[in-house]
Amino acid sequence: MTMLKVANCPNCGKVFQKNLRNLCQDCIDQVHDDFDRCEAYLRGNRKASTEELSGATGISVKRIAEFIVSNRLPVAYYPGLTYPCNSCGSPIKQHYLCSACRVRIVNDIQKMNQQEAKRKERGIGFQIRDRLSR
């Protein structure tokens, strides 16, 4: 006996049989239609920006960003397309963070590591002194 695994579609809320995309068939078809409209518009307007594409096709910038991140709309072929940085929202063409946010996060991590190292040095020193005085 096989049990069907069902879930509610995160887009529309319908109950559907679980699949790899985690969407109901209607929403999968909608995503395909949206992608086809984007691709058709970009064939004639290869250098269009994300906002122009959204305005011309009626597809949300968020959905277009999903297509870019998943490389369905490669930035190498469509140089005007961008999507927002996950931290500050500035337009980027690759990765999840802009270079300024990446540098800031790396610096923050380095500072935290240095502070942790200092804390450990102080803590170990006090423990040794305490043990020696007993």
Would 115 be classed as within a structural domain? yes
30-59: per-residue pLDDT in tens? 999 999 999 999 999 999 999 999 999 999
- Please give the DSSP secondary-structure letter assigned to residue 28: H
Q: How many domains does the chain have?
A: 1
Cα–Cα dist 80/50, whole Å: 7
Residue 7 pLDDT? 92
Q: For residue 106, is pLDDT > 90? A: yes
Would 24 be classed as within a structural domain? no
Residue 129 pLDDT? 53
Q: For residue 133, is pLDDT > 60? A: no
Task: Domain of residue 111: give its range.
Answer: 85-120
CB 38 within 8 A of CB 75: no
pTM value?
Answer: 0.76
